[in-house]
Structure 1
């Protein structure tokens, strides 16, 4: 699959890449990746979403092909860049989709601009407050790669890790660990879809249930037998509840 367009967006001295797919009409889906990775593992979901609206898959500053900023960024900084892009493009009522650390970024963006972001999707959300350490997260990531992901998904993720590099990963990790997602979710007013792969060791079942309780307007979907990058391993299963959140019934989606 080839992206329709790839562009660079600059804000506050930082550069984010945006890869576009689909038409310019219909809902806008803004896909935000996790720590160390980039847009590649969103390709299958982007392709599934493209017939139903406009897809914007970002590569956050320092990640993938996006230039590395002079200084490490906070979750608030990343959210500010994503929000600035949406505002500059004039996207109306977009749906923010975040995975792993990307769930923190989209949550923070929705907190910064509650009138702009009314619908949010959290896939494999982090960080479980019971496992808020680099050691815990590293062990859970290893467990996921070894037992719950396919060789193909591991290869896609590994390639982006290599592009991002160990230094920027290490520079970003304190921001991810230091952002208290559980506190942010209590203040989230957006209609929220929480998605988890049923075997995801990083975003565990009890943590997702806690999130559902914390968010005023939340629905929880668990996809059986899948790991942390469930939107790559089961894009159609992830697609269905996202389209429902977007207000597209199954009959409407099939007609597009």
Structure 2
């Protein structure tokens, strides 16, 4: 398999390899090129039957695509990234040639793109009716309502249907979930907050599974976040590649690994999810901005790992303490969240009531009265949700 490719940038600059999403060409990276070409030698490639690459003569796997990309690269170290299928190829390259990969960038992609059935169904659709049958569907998956991405949609209309179908079949068989821990390259995961194709939980799987990975969630962006919100994605990409964390992650660099460590952040996120639930944490992560990112990472490491994971108290007891402290401090906006957390940690409703009664004695009746109102409303919501 030989892929059409192009190299831009200074001949003596370090190499950066970028892969496109399924249905697009190398030009999907056009919004990022001006910021990259001055410092990197950027190699972009087309998938089989897309852009300038010849149609596929037979079926192939994502690993085959990764091997074909590696054939384009001289014997040197390089950074690699990709969008969607291109991200899957980049992640596979990081496993096949990890000793050569400087940095890894995974944009709106996944370790596993869902069950095989829908992908095999899409392959059958385009084989039978051509790409014209799919383009209207792609508009809603690639962009949020109102965004004009016709120049990208035109790429899909021109793709070879049989090659597109072969890519769908490769995606159907793709699964790196069990190997994420083997990725050694410093990794940036970029997610579109409104992406239906690779939702936020796919990005969280990557960020939790790859040691030390950073996650950037781009608000008001769907699957092609780098096209729809180019400034946000370019800023994160350049910052990660250059190591300028003031650019990528806010004004302050991540604390040194010796003090905080990716393991502590991952452990804190795991506990946060176990106590508060995935839905709440997903919303918090999706709402994270450059302004709030440092604080979110701080509470994940400090509160949810250093404190909640200490062995001195079990989680039931910590929930009792937390409920009491929130009543005492009048932090009713967080009380509802921790009533739910207390139930997840094994307290019964009667035990929550006893905690609030105890708080009435030591924190004051007015404070407990307000807390009972919040708890009563929260329990009613839980009943309505059928939980």
Q: TM-score interval w.r.t. the shorter chain?
A: 0.7 to 0.9
State the secondary structure of the residue aligned to 1:73: coil
Q: Contact 1:127–1:177 (CA<8 Å) still a contact in 2? A: no
Name the TM-score, length of structure 2 as normaliser.
0.55
Cα-to-partner distance string for 1:182-212 (whole Å, 9 max, x where unaligned): 2232322221110011111112112211211
Residues in 1 aligned to 2:63 and 2:87: alpha-carbon distance in whole angstroms: 12
Which protein has the larger Cα radius of gyration, Structure 1 or Structure 2? Answer: 2
The answer to whether residue 102 in structure 2 is matched with residue 118 in structure 1 is yes
Q: Quick one: which of 191, 216, 219 aligns to 1:221?
A: 216
Q: Contact 2:113–2:171 (CA<8 Å) still a contact in 1? A: no
Q: CA deviation at 1:233?
A: 2.0
1:27-42 matches, within 5 Å, as 27-42=14-29
Q: Paired residue for 1:170?
A: 165
The answer to whether residue 49 in structure 2 is matched with residue 62 in structure 1 is yes
Q: Contact 2:66–2:89 (CA<8 Å) still a contact in 1? A: yes
User: In terms of mean alpha carbon deviation, does 176-185 or 108-117 score higher?
Assistant: 176-185
Unaligned stretches of 5+ residues in structure 2: 123-133, 248-387
Residues in 1 aligned to 2:100 and 2:137: alpha-carbon distance in whole angstroms: 34
Q: Quick one: which of 73, 84, 99 aligns to 1:100?
A: 84
Residues in 2 aligned to 1:140 and 1:217: alpha-carbon distance in whole angstroms: 35
Q: Paired residue for 2:232?
A: 237
Residues in 1 aligned to 2:8 and 2:246: alpha-carbon distance in whole angstroms: 22
Q: Contact 1:231–1:238 (CA<8 Å) still a contact in 2? A: yes
CA, structure 1 residues 218+201, in 2 after alignment: closer, same or farther (shift >3 Å)? Answer: same
CA, structure 1 residues 126+149, in 2 after alignment: closer, same or farther (shift >3 Å)? Answer: farther
**Higher-RCO chain (CA-CA 8 Å, sequence separation at least 6):** 1
Q: Paired residue for 1:6?
A: none
1:46-195 matches, within 5 Å, as 46-87=33-74, 90=75, 92-126=76-110, 128=112, 130-134=114-118, 141=138, 143-145=140-142, 147-148=144-145, 150-151=147-148, 153=149, 155-195=150-190
Q: Contact 1:35–1:172 (CA<8 Å) still a contact in 2? A: yes
CA, structure 1 residues 36+127, in 2 after alignment: closer, same or farther (shift >3 Å)? Answer: farther
Q: Contact 1:149–1:227 (CA<8 Å) still a contact in 2? A: no
Name the TM-score, length of structure 1 as normaliser.
0.81
Residues in 2 aligned to 1:127 and 1:149: alpha-carbon distance in whole angstroms: 29
Q: CA deviation at 1:107?
A: 0.9
Residues in 2 aligned to 1:21 and 1:223: alpha-carbon distance in whole angstroms: 27
Q: CA deviation at 1:117?
A: 1.2
State the secondary structure of the residue aligned to 1:183: helix
State the secondary structure of the residue aligned to 2:80: strand
Q: Quick one: which of 226, 247, 254 aligns to 2:242?
A: 247
CA, structure 1 residues 220+251, in 2 after alignment: closer, same or farther (shift >3 Å)? Answer: closer
Residues in 2 aligned to 1:244 and 1:146: alpha-carbon distance in whole angstroms: 25
Q: CA deviation at 1:21?
A: 2.0
Q: CA deviation at 1:69?
A: 3.1
CA, structure 1 residues 188+248, in 2 after alignment: closer, same or farther (shift >3 Å)? Answer: closer
Q: Contact 2:111–2:206 (CA<8 Å) still a contact in 1? A: no
State the secondary structure of the residue aligned to 2:197: coil
More helix by share: 2
CA, structure 1 residues 105+236, in 2 after alignment: closer, same or farther (shift >3 Å)? Answer: same
Q: CA deviation at 1:162?
A: 2.4
State the secondary structure of the residue aligned to 1:86: coil
